Structure 1
Amino acid sequence: MESWGGALLDALDASGDVRQAFNTVAKCAEQLGFEWCAYGYQYPLPFTDRRFYLVNNYAESWRERYKEAGYLRVDPTVAHAHASLEPVLWCDDLFRSAQQLWDEARSFGLRYGRAQACYGPEGGVGMLTLARSSEPIGQAELRTKEVRLRFLVNVAHAALTKRILQIKGLHLAPLTPREREALRWAADGKTSTETAQILSTSSHTVEFHMKNAGRKLGARNRPAATARAAAAGMLR
C-alpha cells in the first residue's frame, strides 16, 4: 500500500492539468479492476444555478446521452453524494427512482460501480465513480481493496479540485483575518455595533471590513456576503 500510494501521489504531483491528473486516477482505477472512472465536482456557488465540472473516460456516445437526457439531475448517486461520505454500490434499489438511466447505463456496459463523495474545505462536493462491465463487486473484493479505494477517492479529490479551481474565474479572493472575523460574527447574528463592541473597535471599522469582504465575494449586501463566505468554507 505504501509503495502504491506513494507512486500515485508522485504521479498526481507531476500532473499539469485536470486531464493529466484524471488520467492518473483512471490508471489506478484500472489497476484496481475497474474499466471506467468518472469524477464530478459541484461548485459551492452560486446557490441558484449550481455548476458542475465532469470528467470521465466513458464512451463518447454515453457522455452525450447522459448530458442530452439531463441525467445529472436525477442520478441517485449524485443525491447520495450530497447526503453521505460513505461509498455506495450500484444496484437496482439505488436506481429505482431513475430506471431509464439505469437501463441505458447498462446498455453501454456500465453494470457494476462504486461511487463515493468527498467534501472540500472550499465548500465544493466531489464524487469519484469506478465502474466496469463484468463481475459484481463482492464483499471479499471490498475487504481486500477498501483501504486503497478510499485512499484513491481522497487523493483524487484533492488533486482534481485543486486544478479545477485554477480554471479562470473560479477562485474567490482571499479574505483578511479581520474580514473573516467580521463575517463570522455577522453569521452568528451580530450587528455591526455589537461586533464592534466584541472586537473593541468602531462600527465604522466593522462596516469597512464587511464592505471589502462583500466586494471580494461578489455580494451586494451583508446577508449575501455572509452566505457566500459560509458556502465557500471561508468562515471555518
Structure 2
Amino acid sequence: METWKESQLRQISNARDVESAYETSLGLVRNLGFNFCAFSITSHPRGPHFKRVNLNNYPSDWISIYEECQFSEIDPILAHCIHSPLPILWEEKVFSKCPQLWQAQKTQGLEHGWSHSLHDDKGLHSMLSVAGSTHPITPYELYENLGYALFISHHLHGLVAQNLPEPVPHSSKPRLSAREIEVLRLSADGKTAFEISILLSLAERTVNFHVSRSIQKLGVNNKIAAVIAAARACMI
C-alpha cells in the first residue's frame, strides 16, 4: 500500500512547473514536521541570464525585515550555500558573528532548520531551506529527512533548468583577439581608456579602437554591454 510520503513524492515528480511542484513539496515538508520551506535559484555571474525564482512561505514580516535590514549581506547560511553543497544546520553558533540576525529569525519562528544547495554545470545555483520545528534538529533527524529534501531540491532545480535555452555552442562565439580581451578585462575592473593605455603601453586611440572592434564583434551597442557579453561568454 502506498504511503503518504510515496504519494507526495510521486505528485512532486509528476509536476511540470516549479510553482505547482513547490506547493506539493510544501505539503510534504509540513508532514515531515516543519512549518516553512523556501526554494530559490539564480545563476552564477557567468551563468545564463534569467529572472530569479524565489518561492517560500515565510511570514511576510520576516521577508520585509530581511530585505530592509539587508541581512543577505551577513547571512552565514547563505554564504555557506553559495560555496558548498553540504547541508548546514541553523544553530546559534553559526550566527555568532551576526546575533541580530539570529534573534530576528527566532522572533519569527525560524529558529530551527537547515539549508543545502545545488550547483550545476549550466551555471545555476539553487538553495532549499526547511525550518520551524519546535525543537533543535538532531543529526539523526537531519539524516532521516535529508533524502526527501534533496529529492525536492533536485526536482525544483531541474524544472527551472529544463526551461532555459541551450547555451550557445563554443564555435559560434565571436572571436576576440588577445589584446581585445585584455582591454575588456581592464574595462571590467573600472579602468578608463587613458588608464588602460598607460598599463598596456598603448596609445589611448588604440585602446578605443580595440573597444570599438569588440563592440562590433559582440553585436552590442556600448563598452559596458561588451564587457557583460564577454563575461557571459566566459571570455573574461
Give the alignment's TM-score, normalised by structure 1: 0.67
The answer to whether the aligner puts 1:38 opposite 2:29 as a matched pair is no
The answer to whether the aligner puts 1:77 opposite 2:81 as a matched pair is no
| Matched-pair contact (CA < 8 Å) for 1:9–1:155 | no
The AA in structure 1 aligned to 2:172 is E
Counterpart in the other structure of 2:158: 158
Counterpart in the other structure of 2:9: 8
Q: Distance in 2 between matches of 1:78 and 1:35?
A: 20
Paired residues, number: 197
| Matched-pair contact (CA < 8 Å) for 1:43–1:51 | no
Q: Distance in 2 between matches of 1:5 and 1:177?
A: 42
Residue aligned with 1:40, SS: strand
Residues 213 and 40 (structure 1), Cα distance of their counterparts in 2 relative to 1, 3 Å cut: farther
The AA in structure 2 aligned to 1:227 is A
Listed one character per residue, the Cα deviations across residues 80-125 of structure 1 (whole Å, up to 9, x for unaligned) are 0111110000011111122111101101111101100111333121
Residues 116 and 71 (structure 1), Cα distance of their counterparts in 2 relative to 1, 3 Å cut: same
Q: Which of the residues 164, 171, 176 maps onto 1:178?
A: 171
The AA in structure 2 aligned to 1:175 is V
Q: Return the offset for 1:126.
A: 1.0
Counterpart in the other structure of 1:25: 25
Counterpart in the other structure of 2:108: 108
The AA in structure 2 aligned to 1:104 is A
Counterpart in the other structure of 1:64: 64
Counterpart in the other structure of 1:122: 122
Q: Distance in 1 between matches of 2:116 and 2:131?
A: 12
Residues 213 and 42 (structure 1), Cα distance of their counterparts in 2 relative to 1, 3 Å cut: farther
The answer to whether the aligner puts 1:227 opposite 2:231 as a matched pair is yes
Task: Tell me the percent identity.
Answer: 24
Instruction: Report which of the two structures shows the higher radius of gyration computed on alpha carbons.
Output: 2
Residues 89 and 224 (structure 1), Cα distance of their counterparts in 2 relative to 1, 3 Å cut: same
Counterpart in the other structure of 1:234: none
Q: Distance in 1 between matches of 2:43 and 2:217?
A: 20
Counterpart in the other structure of 2:187: none
Stretches of structure 1 that go unaligned for 5 or more consecutive residues are 193-209, 232-236
Stretches of structure 2 that go unaligned for 5 or more consecutive residues are 182-213
Counterpart in the other structure of 1:131: 131
Listed one character per residue, the Cα deviations across residues 159-207 of structure 1 (whole Å, up to 9, x for unaligned) are 3x348xx6xxxx5674245225x77xx79x7999xxxxxxxxxxxxxxx
| Matched-pair contact (CA < 8 Å) for 1:179–1:212 | no
| Matched-pair contact (CA < 8 Å) for 1:87–1:117 | yes
Residues 6 and 179 (structure 1), Cα distance of their counterparts in 2 relative to 1, 3 Å cut: farther
Q: Distance in 2 between matches of 1:212 and 1:137?
A: 56
The AA in structure 2 aligned to 1:134 is T
Superposed CA RMSD in Å reads 3.8
Residues 220 and 172 (structure 1), Cα distance of their counterparts in 2 relative to 1, 3 Å cut: farther
Q: Distance in 1 between matches of 2:117 and 2:30?
A: 19
The AA in structure 2 aligned to 1:40 is S
Residues 211 and 68 (structure 1), Cα distance of their counterparts in 2 relative to 1, 3 Å cut: closer
Q: Distance in 2 between matches of 1:31 and 1:15?
A: 22
Give the alignment's TM-score, normalised by structure 2: 0.67
| Matched-pair contact (CA < 8 Å) for 2:40–2:127 | yes
